[in-house]
Structure 1
Amino acid sequence: MISFNYETDFSLENEAQFSAWISKAIQEESCKEGEINYIFCTDDYLYKINVNFLDHDTLTDIISFDYSVGKELHGDIYISVDRVKENADDFKVSFEDEISRVMIHGVLHYCGYKDKTDKDQEVMTAKEDYYLSKRS
């Protein structure tokens, strides 16, 4: 089950569509959907998590905590709406496209994709682009 939680004034207008899109991606990756929580928050909120849990003194757009068991996906995906808005402006894409990219990025990590090396980033970006093309 995919759930959406808000620690800021932002909220998704079409939760059901996002949920269905993410569920289809999980199935296509031959994984099983477990409990996946999206938590939308501010830069300050996510910064504190980054410092306290990951010892990273930086702003970020997403932090995911993976509790998956094998191919059954479980986890908490924290997304800074502030960072996504700024990135959308920087990359000259719509806010909805950027929030979608970040949301699918978190799930792809749970599916086993990494992004630490250039090669891994290429694969991750290609997967993101593929699933973004399937979003309705």
Structure 2
Amino acid sequence: MNELEALALALEVEKAELKFYIRLAKKASDERAKKMFLFLAGEEAEHWDIFEEKFAGALVEKCELPAVDMEALDRLLVKVEEENLSEVDAVKIGMEQEKLTWEFYERAAKEAEHESVRRIFEELAKVEKAHYELLKAQYD
């Protein structure tokens, strides 16, 4: 996967995570859990902005729009049946999702052609790992 493909995939992952955390915040009855989910949604929105800016810059340079690998996207998103999802299960799913994302960003950083893209992926891998730790602390 080249870095443009990784950036396109990252945009889709961040969008899915943002929507997921907003839905969880709406459903949460525990105020602390609601605040945590809203915090995580805000973080994912910031990641979206970073990737969107970098992606747009890379597209201008290369003048091409890579298609998102839907199979890869599917592997990066935890399947969730939200109908009767408990808050505890939601936190566990969030942990799993954040771990998938941070590991993807670590791989993408290693494969990035440009130093600036590598640094973004490395930084966001750290942030996603911190999200995992936040969710784990809530779970514990």
Is the pair's TM-score, using the shorter chain for normalization, greater than 0.5? no
The structure, 1 or 2, with the larger RCO (C-alpha pairs under 8 Å, 6+ apart) is: 2
Larger CA Rg, structure 1 vs 2: 2
> Please, what TM-score do these two structures have when normalized by structure 2?
0.29
> Please, what TM-score do these two structures have when normalized by structure 1?
0.29
Relative to its length, the structure with more helix (as a share) is 2
